Chains A and B, each alone.
Chain A
Amino acid sequence: MNREPVVLPNVKTKIKATKKKKKFSMKFLTPWLFLLPAIVILATFLVYPILEAFKWSFLDYKIIAGTGEYVGLANFKEMFADKYFWVALVNTLTFLVIVLPLNVFLPMILAVLVNQRIRGAGTFRVLYYLPVITPMVVAALMWKMLYSQSGIISEFLVKLGVFDGPTNLLVQSSTALTAVAAITVWKGLGYYMIIYLAGLQSIPKDVYESASIDGASVWKQFTKITIPMLTPSITLVSVMTIIAGMKVFEEIALTTGGGPSGATTTLVMYIYNKFMSLDVSIASAAGIVLLVLAIAASLLQMKLTSKREDDLRV
């Protein structure tokens, strides 16, 4: 009877404490439960192979035996001494220089066009999106046919007077890379258009209304409202283009196979060829160079665009 008042509060605090502890551990666990399946899969089939690739680049790895000895930087030295590695590097950068401006501006124009309030705009969106839904292998083979010496593109260029006789752009070393880049741009138009379209539609309509009441021309509205408001979309499109452009494979592998005489052998093709000849350690080393380029490009791009956003704020 006497003890009761002493015991009771003790029990109460104990209950309170466990409850709090349970609540705390749930609060700690919940986010990880959400993340668990994705993280397990990504760790196994993405992060682990990536780490392995790093390891292999320092080994003399034999994929059939599944072993390799540590060779330090020998793979990198061998690769940097390889003339074809440098050719591949230049081809990759050239490819990006061709694709990036086209990917940033053409889809933006398409988005502005199909964003107009005119009859049939929705149909045009669908038609512009068709290349995106085409499987990449199909796109590559279709364009290979179009590019063929007796195909429509050759015929068109001869009629324009660009070439004297039938010419396959894919087999000329001076034009092959551009011809391949055209496939990439064609395939991506609709996709990037949608990204811009989402950006365009998130711009409040009354901004345009008040601008046109103030007498701003359509062009001025485009440069002063649309483009600045699209900055996040532009950043996204650029970064995606660079990252995707460096990984381009099918449109090269299935059209030129890297030729003629290495004119379209990008870094990715170089890696693929090394893998096929079982030089997986060199392939890994070249893969790391590709990764470094992708990261560097993304960082630079983000820095540039965030700087422009800062300027706008001032």
Chain B
Amino acid sequence: MKSKQNSKIWLYAVMLLITVLTVGPFLITLFMAMKSGSEGIYTSLLPKDPTLANFVTAFEKANFGLYFMNTAIITAIAIPLNLLFCSLAAYPLARMDFRGRSVVLALIISTMMVPFQLYMAPLFQLAGELGLRNTHIGLVVMQVSTAFGIFLMRQAYLRIPKELEESAYLDGANRFKVWYLVVLPLVKPTLVTLAIFTFMGTWGDYLWPLLNSTESSMYTLSIGLAQLSQNFDGSNLKLISAASILTTIPTLLIFIWLQKYFISGATDGAVKG
């Protein structure tokens, strides 16, 4: 009994140590963001005279209100479209026998391997030709239908017992009906997972917006932050810290809102289905 308690203490000690590593950088950044103008940047961990002035400055002076809107708009475009297109496309790849299935599947999975950097230049040019430069749609062309999403949804479908769909077919339902009414509700947790992946991929995307947003009016938070960090010293560090926290807060809120769903999500589909 005593050794069991001892091992529990060790367990907590290790887990707390890991927490310091994962959460510590946020706290340090938050403290940095709350330091007032005159305070040295690295002199102490905690702010001596905590202030929110840096957040206000970031929002007003550094245009983060606009960048915030741009980022919110592209995220709101990407999530519903990616969920719809991926959950549609994955279904026949998981459940239907048709000529070309293995080719399509192999093609989609192999594109997951292709580094964005290979085709960013041609994509940059294509976006220009299609009039997508400095547009919101142009910023999300990579997010509205992803190979990863199709892969993820297919995995979820494969975990569902076939019998459920078969009994629906016996009742006379067609493929779309079965997909929409029987299959999709069973993979809801995976849909939430994919929504979060899409959110994170879009919200934090850097390289493509960096290329496609040539006008500062179309900057996203990531780009604005990167621009701000060009001057990486002195009092500007407090501003960068504040802008970093501002950029992270929405992702944090959404994670707090959906975290249980998300963390149990990946397995729920398998167990319940």
Question: Contacts A135-B221, A138-B247 hold; do A288 and B89 have CB atoms under 8 A apart?
Answer: no
Stretch at the interface among A4-12, A73-81, A119-127, A171-179: A119-127
Asked if A34 contacts B115 (CB within 8 A), the reply is no
A42 CB, min distance to chain B CBs, angstroms: 6
- Given that A45-B126, A186-B22, A247-B115 are known contacts, is A138 also in contact with B225, CB under 8 Å in the complex? yes
Label chain B's interface by main secondary structure: helix
Task: Check A194–B206 contact: CB distance below 8 A.
Answer: no
**0 or 1 for each of A27-42: is its CB under 8 Å from B? (1 = yes):** 1101110110111011
With an 8 A cutoff between CB atoms, is A295 at the interface? yes
In A124-149, the 8 Å CB interface with B consists of: 124-139, 141-146, 148
The answer to whether A137 touches B222, judged by C-beta atoms less than 8 angstroms apart, is: yes
Near A by CB (< 8 A), chain B positions 205-242 give: 206-207, 221-222, 225-226, 229, 232, 237, 240-241
B123 in contact with A45 (CB, 8 Å): yes
Point out the residues of chain A lying under 8 angstroms from B167, CB to CB: none
CB neighbors of A among B75-112 (8 A):
84-86, 88-89, 91-93, 96, 98-99, 101, 104, 107-108, 110-112
- Separation of A110 and B229 alpha carbons in the complex (Å): 33
Instruction: Please give the residue numbers on chain B whose beta carbons come within 8 Å of chain A beta carbons, in ascending order.
Output: 8, 11-12, 14-15, 18-19, 21-23, 25-26, 28-29, 32, 41-42, 45, 84-86, 88-89, 91-93, 96, 98-99, 101, 104, 107-108, 110-126, 141-142, 144-145, 147, 150, 175-176, 179, 200, 203-204, 206-207, 221-222, 225-226, 229, 232, 237, 240-241, 244, 247-248, 251-252, 255-256, 259-260, 263, 266-267, 270-271
Give A contacts to B, CB under 8 Å: 27-28, 30-32, 34-35, 37-39, 41-42, 44-50, 52-53, 56, 63, 66, 110, 113-114, 116, 118, 120, 122, 124-139, 141-146, 148, 150-152, 186, 189-190, 194-195, 197-198, 201-202, 243, 246-247, 249-250, 254, 268, 271-272, 275, 280, 283-284, 287-288, 290-291, 294-295, 298
